[in-house]
Amino acid sequence: MYRLGIDLGGTNIAVAVVDEKYNIVGRAKVKTDAHRPADQICDSIAEASKAAVKAAGLKMEDIASAGIGTPGSVIPSEGIVTYANNFTGFNNLPLCAMLKERLGIDIYIDNDANAAAYGEYLAGAGVGTNDFIAVTLGTGVGGGVIIGGKMLLGSNFAGGELGHTVLHMDGEPCTCGRKGCFEAYASATALIKQTKRAMDENKDSLMWKLAEKSGKVNGRTAFDAMRQGDKAGTEVVNNYCRFVAEGVCNIMNIFQPDLLCIGGGISNEKENLTDPVNELVRRDIYTRHTETKDRVCAAKLGNDAGIIGAAFLDKLYK
Amino acid sequence: MYRLGIDLGGTNIAVAVVDEKYNIVGRAKVKTDAHRPADQICDSIAEASKAAVKAAGLKMEDIASAGIGTPGSVIPSEGIVTYANNFTGFNNLPLCAMLKERLGIDIYIDNDANAAAYGEYLAGAGVGTNDFIAVTLGTGVGGGVIIGGKMLLGSNFAGGELGHTVLHMDGEPCTCGRKGCFEAYASATALIKQTKRAMDENKDSLMWKLAEKSGKVNGRTAFDAMRQGDKAGTEVVNNYCRFVAEGVCNIMNIFQPDLLCIGGGISNEKENLTDPVNELVRRDIYTRHTETKDRVCAAKLGNDAGIIGAAFLDKLYK
């Protein structure tokens, strides 16, 4: 039995055929061209889906169902994207029905953060857990919360916005309109801002040379500088890890999951990120006196998490 | 069919017989004397239970089961209090088994915050909801989170510590050891601290007279002063409501419940608390563009929430 997993991104539509053991057996990718009408985007999704099935050496009849992880807000039970700000015409869009028409199979949907969390839960960092949380540190801070194998959706399907919890009242402005959100301190965007600020204050820091070499300041600049012993870079990383840890510790105190995994580009730093975060969480968590092991780890599946999770959304919403 | 609800407090043990429509039909109360051995406290719980049954004009045979809401941490499925810092000997205490021995009926258990949340969910502010949260502003800030009718426990039964989420990094010290927790800004204890601070800075404030009249500064001092037009008192209340709203908004963004109710002594202020909190939450919540009604309200059952919720714990854990 095979499933299709569809990762609908602002730039690319990535589709893969996934077998029952979560192996990807065929892939395809097309440009999203997000400015186009929803109908045309849907055509492209269908096209990529068929290409992925072909790449797997299979036929559409071999595919049991498909799942989509999409940006924006979603009502999984109705197969509708209520709103996605980076797509035109994604207002109460019956995306599942539109795609079922094109592919002839049942389609399931959730937002991309939830799909990625579910992928890690099933086949990555979260294997063997019951309560599992994935926090993605990217342009923003996204989250997916799985409790007893079920996705936390909230009464209006808008729950799990872990990035939009204030960590520092009246602090850094956030894209959501509030001030001081976790996202405004712990996203890759925030790290880059923190790096640039430190560079302005430390004209002799190695970060200048590293940024020049890679053409720009990015989420690795401070980490790379730290690895080469740069003082200002080390300080940026230390502060950043503290921000991440404070937010993670809040989430741990609320949910007390078996495991919390950190994904997104910055999670490629692996232990350089998770070791200091675990140390700070162990120090601060409400249950510190009974903690026996680290409960924060890096994501394992990278970009495939969203595809694999999407493929298996039928397990959540069938 | 009748149930017993037991609210085990640091000062009193309050027990009531509750009918199937959540009416209390008999009550009893005894002193806890929390310094005593667990055995003796258990004897007192049994004694109060029998007295409540008698007060209801019933016999023990008429009681289907009993539930206890206790301070501390609990494993409901095992009927064990793992730890309660204000009781001696409450370390992995098999309280349900001990009480079953004395009363001859099945006993269920959860912590007091969860029991109170469940009471409000069943018979108070949360009637008709599916996802419901109760936040208690008392000595500390407690919370109970109900998702789809089930209690959020966490993998280690220590979840739901909504009060121990940092709202203001490096801010006010919290009893939990961290700095800047929601509890350190929004508990009654914090409000009293904020009131005293404002009084020190405003020697001519009406709060001085009000505190003298009631013998001490309490959670009502600033609210009472506000009602009489006192400027410093009004400012204390405004700031306090902002702290509450920031924490509540964080919780709303994470869980997006149908309703969040605020309990504890300060919730007696009703609209004076919930109106400004709702206004701020409506302004700041992630879903502000689709909010159609206020989702924050005051608790309805007062101290009975814990008793009624405890009585019905069999619905959660049987």
pLDDT in the model for residue A196: 98
Q: Does A154 touch chain B (CB under 8 A)?
A: yes
Length of chain B, in residues: 318
Q: B260 vs chain A: nearest CA distance in angstroms?
A: 12
Q: How big is the A-B interface in CB pairs under 8 Å?
A: 104
pLDDT value at A86 more than 90? no
Lateral strand order in the sheet of A259-263: A150-151, A141-147, A132-137, A259-263, A296-298
Contacts of B256 in chain A (CB under 8 A): 153-159, 161
Q: Is A233 helix (H, G, I), strand (E, B) or coil?
A: helix
Say which amino acid occupies A195. Answer: T
pLDDT value at A132 more than 90? yes
Confidence of residue A89 (pLDDT cuts 50, 70, 90): confident
- Provide the whole-model pTM: 0.95
pLDDT value at A153 more than 90? yes
Q: Which of A80, A178, A243, A251 to mutate to test the interface with B (most CBs of B within 10 A)?
A: A178
In this complex, do A154 and B255 lie within 8 Å of one another by their Cβ atoms?
Answer: yes
| Residues in contact with A50: Cβ distance below 8 Å, sequence separation at least 6, in sequence order | A60, A103
pLDDT value at A129 more than 90? yes
Q: Which residues of chain B have pLDDT under 50?
A: none
Q: B251 vs chain A: nearest CA distance in angstroms?
A: 8
In this complex, do A155 and B254 lie within 8 Å of one another by their Cβ atoms?
Answer: no
Q: What is the rounded CA–CA span in Å between residue B181 and residue B199?
A: 23
Supply the DSSP symbol for A216. S
Q: Which of B114, B133, B146, B147 to mutate to test the interface with A (most CBs of A within 10 A)?
A: B147
pLDDT digits (tens, 9 = 90+) for A178-234: 999 999 999 999 999 999 999 999 999 999 999 999 999 999 999 999 999 999 999
Contacts of A169 in chain B (CB under 8 A): 167-168, 171, 243, 246
Give the residue on A whose Cα is nearest the Cα of B146: A154
pLDDT in the model for residue A186: 98
pLDDT in the model for residue A242: 98
Give the residue on B whose Cα is nearest the Cα of A143: B254
In this complex, do A166 and B164 lie within 8 Å of one another by their Cβ atoms?
Answer: no
In this complex, do A155 and B250 lie within 8 Å of one another by their Cβ atoms?
Answer: no
Question: Which ranges in chain B belong to alpha helices (H)?
Answer: 38-55, 95-103, 112-123, 183-186, 188-201, 206-214, 221-227, 231-255, 271-284, 304-311, 314-317
Report the pLDDT averaged over residues A15-31. Answer: 98
pLDDT in the model for residue A279: 97
Q: Does A113 touch chain B (CB under 8 A)?
A: no
In this complex, do B158 and A257 lie within 8 Å of one another by their Cβ atoms?
Answer: no
pLDDT in the model for residue A85: 81
In this complex, do B254 and A159 lie within 8 Å of one another by their Cβ atoms?
Answer: yes
Considering only CA atoms, give the Rg of chain B: 20
Q: Which of B161, B169, B256 lies at the smallest CB-CB distance from A286?
A: B161
* Diameter over CA atoms, chain B: 62
Q: Which of B75, B146, B161 to mutate to test the interface with A (most CBs of A within 10 A)?
A: B161
pLDDT value at A245 more than 90? yes
pLDDT digits (tens, 9 = 90+) for B243-258: 999 999 999 999 999 9
- Of B233, B229, B235, the C-alpha closest to B218 is B233
In this complex, do A257 and B161 lie within 8 Å of one another by their Cβ atoms?
Answer: no
CB-based contact B117:B146 (threshold 8 Å): yes
pLDDT in the model for residue B84: 86
Q: Does B155 touch chain A (CB under 8 A)?
A: yes
Q: Does A130 touch chain B (CB under 8 A)?
A: yes
Residue keyed to tokens 């306090």: B240
A302 φ, ψ to 5°?
Answer: 55, -140
In this complex, do B166 and A249 lie within 8 Å of one another by their Cβ atoms?
Answer: yes
A107 φ, ψ to 5°?
Answer: -120, 135
Q: Which of B130, B152, B164 lies at the smallest CB-CB distance from A147?
A: B152
* Structure ipTM: 0.95
Q: A168 vs chain B: nearest CA distance in angstroms?
A: 4
CB-based contact B74:B157 (threshold 8 Å): yes
Q: A97 vs chain B: nearest CA distance in angstroms?
A: 24
Q: What is the rounded CA–CA span in Å between residue A231 and residue A71?
A: 38
In this complex, do B249 and A147 lie within 8 Å of one another by their Cβ atoms?
Answer: no
Q: Does A1 touch chain B (CB under 8 A)?
A: no
Q: Does B246 touch chain A (CB under 8 A)?
A: yes
pLDDT in the model for residue B225: 98
Q: Does B160 touch chain A (CB under 8 A)?
A: yes
Q: What is the rounded CA–CA span in Å between residue B116 and residue B7?
A: 9
- Of A278, A285, A286, the C-alpha closest to A262 is A278
Q: Which of A131, A157, A246 lies at the smallest CB-CB distance from B166?
A: A246
Q: Does B92 touch chain A (CB under 8 A)?
A: no
Q: Which of B159, B246, B288 lies at the smallest CB-CB distance from A166?
A: B246
Residues 275-294 of A with CB under 8 A from B: 284, 286-288, 290
Length of chain A, in residues: 318
In this complex, do A154 and B257 lie within 8 Å of one another by their Cβ atoms?
Answer: yes
In this complex, do A154 and B249 lie within 8 Å of one another by their Cβ atoms?
Answer: no
Contacts of B178 in chain A (CB under 8 A): 249, 284
Angle at which helix B38-55 crosses helix B95-103, to 10 degrees, equals: 50
Q: Which of B130, B158, B286 lies at the smallest CB-CB distance from A256?
A: B158
In this complex, do B256 and A176 lie within 8 Å of one another by their Cβ atoms?
Answer: no
For chain B, which domains are there?
A: 2-119+304-317 (3.30.420.40), 128-298 (3.30.420.40)
Q: Which of A161, A254, A290 lies at the smallest CB-CB distance from B286?
A: A161
In this complex, do B256 and A164 lie within 8 Å of one another by their Cβ atoms?
Answer: no
